[in-house]
Structure 1
Amino acid sequence: MNDQIGVTITQGPKPWTVLQHKKGFASLELQGNWTPPGDGSIVGKVYVRLVSEDTSAPVLGWIPADTDQNSRTWSLRLKNIPAGGLYRLETSLQMDDKAAMEWFTRGDMVHHLGVGDLWVIAGQSNAAGYGKGPVNDPPELGIHLLRHNGQWDLASHPFGDSTHSIHMENRENANPGHSPFLSFARIVKRETGFPVGLIPLAHGGSPLSKWNPEEDGTLYRLMLRTIQSIGGNVRGILWYQGCTDCTPKESPTYLNRFRRMVHSIRKDLNHDTLPMLTVQLNRHTSSNPEPESDISWGTLREHQRKAAHEIAHVTVIPALDCPLSDEIHNSPAGNLLIGERMARAALATVYGKPVHYQAPEIQSARQLPGDGPAVIELTFDHVKGHFLTTGPLEPVFTIEDDQGTIQAAKCSLAGSHIIWLHLPRRIAGRAVVHGAYEQNPAAHLPLDQASYLPMLAFYQFPIE
């Protein structure tokens, strides 16, 4: 028997919910029932307010709800909730126009509400978070997570916890570990001042076809359904995926299929400029990679690099220098780096902050004039300081021409953003250059001295 008096909430936000703001404000729909306190009073009026959880100071003062006397139900659209928080939602019941406001009959409350930005986490295992080992990356109020059980919670690792999961499409077979995205959210929250809500939907081992509605689309439909269940609006998508598509069959079409997926989600969410923050794949340290594996990994990384140029509002950050905790999964230390880099990309491209986030990227390649062995000049963009090296560069770069493969005999820095490749012979016919394209490329990539970001990998870049 329910003998509760006062106001009950039957529809509305749950504790830890983060609402997506629009131009600094959000709204929410509330419904419920009310029950007289049993003192003989008859006519009830439901009121709702929002207070700061830190100070209990009113953010939105007491607002009367539409209160039905016959059905003893109530409803209210609470509007103009300012971005920020955490907030506490309070309800109360006034009977027969009696009593001062502070002595109204009790009502339900909802704690730990935020208004800020929602970010979807999509992709495969390195998005789901499989980093193993200890690291200091604690929970923080104002960074919340929509868990797989459908309930909002304080964000804490592992994000892919499948306890009481309501969707089996992305249930992991093994318990996941550390994720990059608590680090991401911590920086975004600190720099914007707004709470961050994370929506983890990634699934280990998932190919792009699971995310592309024009192919299998299983995880795409889950993503769309989940976004719609929380209001249909998100700030952006955090994407780390591609290892499963590093095959001779799938890698050549990756860019076009990724493009179609981005187009579909933007169309279905009615958000033409929805940001997609992506990660260029780290390495796979398998002991015996096949030659075609190097080509597939190089092709896919090149498509990830090109996507940031060819698809509006797509960014890419490097991961090739990040440590692993097994052959293919980024370690917690690596995840912290990835989270910070993605946060800087978000701050620069989504929030308009004057933050440098772009890694050195190949801009041009040309053979310098001369009669002796060829010297190939590589010019890079986005070098904020100057290049520095932590080891030999010769294994990083490979030339291919009509006569086959050429390894540089020597590499030298020829300026703040220029690298010379000294070859043992002239190039013959059409030639291309690859940089860190292999499944497990050289470890000592050229770094930007100002940002310590490694260059983005590239594949089959034409030499002029």
Structure 2
Amino acid sequence: MSFGVFLEKGPLAWEIIQQEDGRGKLALSGTWEVDRAVFIGPFQVFARVVHEHNGRDVLSWTPCEMVGENGWRVTLHVPTGGLYRLETCLQHDQNALLGSGAIRGDMIHHIGVGDLWIIAGQSNAAGYGRGTVEDSPILGVHLLRNNGLWDLATHPFNDSTATIHEVNMEWVNPAHSPWLHFGKLLQNELHYPIGFVQTALGGSALRAWNPDEEGHLFRNMIETVQRCGGKVAGVVWNQGSSDCNSESADTYLERFTKVVQYWRKELNIAELPFVTVQLNRFTNIQEDKEHHDKQWGKVREAQRQAALSIPSVSVIPSLDCPMSDDIHNSPAGNLIIGSRAANIALQVVYGLQRQAYPPNLEYAIYIQEHESDSHAIKLRFKHVSERLFAINPQADLFGIEDEEGAILLNGWTIISSNEVLLKLTRKPSGKLSVHGAYQTNPASQMLIDTGTYLPMLAFYNVEAVAEI
């Protein structure tokens, strides 16, 4: 006959439990069985948690509540850290030594207490980077796979083998993503485990994540998070190219704001952090390029504005990252994105000192020199830690429009540590707007901050107001 302590409810092997105030809650329950013709009792189930690397106690043997004829339960509050092993045993004699003298019990291996991050968005979130790069797995950075089991985090994250939720099943095999590198960098700085809840799907539009619209990926995300305790530390989000069209681009900011609000309400985390990635580029526009440029510009601007207007939402650039095809970031590009995302999370979410913010347009001022009848726009950037630098001073980075249409530039130049002057070829008429790196495939040599070597965030249709 089977005998000992049986775990029926508790964490899975390799699971990372979300910590709150430095501890994670392990709610355990199960049954116990012995041959009562041999063992008389009294019987008591015990549970403990030990460090997996040396066997020392994290929580020493703790008596469990005995329930009914042969049930038991206990809730353990385990300090942040790991990897841990959970052990149980059944004491059949008050004089029996726990562990070596008690009857066997089930164990759970490779568990940790740390932070969980949701992965959401489309293919560059799911990970489609093709090619080779050194990005090895590491103990303490784990992944809830689509089969419902926890595992050591390895690429590809969105592997659909034996999936239990086909709603985010990829049509092709995914590949490398930014998030293993992101997790390793967080673990190295925070000194506790990181777990990922992968819910992204290639090609998914914002409406799939918005319960006001289709919302099927939103519902899958909520169900998946609930299966691992319902609490997370934050969201990494890379999405938007499927909304770069005339039906969706104009409302992206409004709808993304609703997405953030719904997620925070459903997960009961008032300021759930979102680390977002501004769109990279698409190099294969075949026709109507001007139209597509505007739609990509609108979505990138919405992503920039979301980080300015929604608390605890941050954004990092990706336009300078290498690619493995016409729209997907390469493994090398993903390492850059993972590093930038980790730095901004460490600064914004964890309060560590970093220079993680990229240069971001603060305002644009129209300047007219009456004596020379010259016309210009001055751009001022915030989050410049050292000074702006043009890798290619002749790069076609900026665009100007007024009520008559496009205004050609007579060049641009950096005039101070955080200011750029755009020289116009004619006097503007009516409302004057400026764009930066807004196209589907803008210039690859970006304006950067020499202190961080982060490129500026793209911007679109920012009004240039007259100098007072």
TM superposition score normalised by structure 2: 0.96
Residue 427 (structure 1) shift? 2.0
Rounded to whole Å, the distance in 2 between the matches of 1:366 and 1:98 is 83
Query: What is the aligned partner in structure 1 of residue 219 from structure 2?
Result: 221
- Cα deviation code 1:58-109 (max 9, x no counterpart): 01000011224x632221111x210111110011111132422232111111
Rounded to whole Å, the distance in 2 between the matches of 1:313 and 1:278 is 11
Rounded to whole Å, the distance in 2 between the matches of 1:373 and 1:283 is 34
Contact 1:10/1:32, CA 8 A, preserved across alignment = yes
1:173 equivalent to 2:171? Answer yes
1:373 equivalent to 2:370? Answer no
Contact 1:394/1:407, CA 8 A, preserved across alignment = no
Q: Counterpart of 1:374 in 2: which secondary structure? A: strand
Q: Which amino acid aligns with 1:72?
A: N
Query: What is the aligned partner in structure 2 of residue 127 from structure 1?
Result: 125
Query: What is the aligned partner in structure 2 of residue 202 from structure 1?
Result: 200
1:75 equivalent to 2:73? Answer yes
Contact 2:87/2:105, CA 8 A, preserved across alignment = yes
Alignment of 1:385-404 (within 5 A): 385-404=386-405
Residue 289 (structure 1) shift? 4.6
CA gap of 1:271–1:393, structure 2 versus 1, over 3 A, is farther
Q: Counterpart of 2:369 in 1: which secondary structure? A: coil
Contact 1:365/1:376, CA 8 A, preserved across alignment = yes
Contact 1:393/1:446, CA 8 A, preserved across alignment = no
Q: Considering only aligned residues, what root-mean-square deviation do their CA atoms show, in Å?
A: 1.3
Contact 1:393/1:444, CA 8 A, preserved across alignment = no
Rounded to whole Å, the distance in 1 between the matches of 2:378 and 2:65 is 72
Query: What is the aligned partner in structure 2 of residue 333 from structure 1?
Result: 332
Rounded to whole Å, the distance in 2 between the matches of 1:104 and 1:461 is 72
1:358 equivalent to 2:339? Answer no
1:452 equivalent to 2:456? Answer no
Contact 1:159/1:200, CA 8 A, preserved across alignment = yes
Rounded to whole Å, the distance in 1 between the matches of 2:119 and 2:435 is 30
Match of 1:84 among 65, 81, 88: 81
Q: Percent identical across equivalent pairs? A: 46
Contact 1:130/1:179, CA 8 A, preserved across alignment = yes
Q: Unpaired segments of 5 or more residues in structure 2?
A: none
Q: Which amino acid aligns with 2:60?
A: G
- Cα deviation code 1:361-416 (max 9, x no counterpart): 11111122413331221111111111112213441001101222123221111011
Alignment of 1:76-115 (within 5 A): 76-78=74-76, 80-101=77-98, 102-115=100-113
Rounded to whole Å, the distance in 2 between the matches of 1:301 and 1:122 is 17
Rounded to whole Å, the distance in 2 between the matches of 1:264 and 1:284 is 30
Rounded to whole Å, the distance in 1 between the matches of 2:394 and 2:195 is 41
Aligned length in residues: 460
Rounded to whole Å, the distance in 2 between the matches of 1:236 and 1:396 is 33
Query: What is the aligned partner in structure 2 of residue 255 from structure 1?
Result: 253
Residue 37 (structure 1) shift? 5.9
Alignment of 1:344-355 (within 5 A): 344-355=343-354
Q: Which amino acid aligns with 1:75?
A: R
Contact 1:433/1:463, CA 8 A, preserved across alignment = yes
Q: Which amino acid aligns with 1:463?
A: A
Moved over 6 A (4+): none
Q: Counterpart of 1:395 in 2: which secondary structure? A: coil
- Cα deviation code 1:103-161 (max 9, x no counterpart): 21111111111000000000000000000000000100000000000000000000001
Q: Counterpart of 1:163 in 2: which secondary structure? A: coil
TM superposition score normalised by structure 1: 0.97
Q: Which amino acid aligns with 2:271?
A: T
Rounded to whole Å, the distance in 1 between the matches of 2:53 and 2:386 is 43
**Greater mean deviation of Cα atoms: 368-377 or 199-208:** 368-377
Query: What is the aligned partner in structure 2 of residue 462 from structure 1?
Result: 463
Query: What is the aligned partner in structure 2 of residue 383 from structure 1?
Result: 384
Rounded to whole Å, the distance in 2 between the matches of 1:38 and 1:335 is 59
Q: Counterpart of 1:103 in 2: which secondary structure? A: coil
Residue 287 (structure 1) shift? 4.5
CA gap of 1:308–1:393, structure 2 versus 1, over 3 A, is farther
Residue 229 (structure 1) shift? 1.4
Query: What is the aligned partner in structure 2 of residue 8 from structure 1?
Result: 6
Residue 428 (structure 1) shift? 2.2
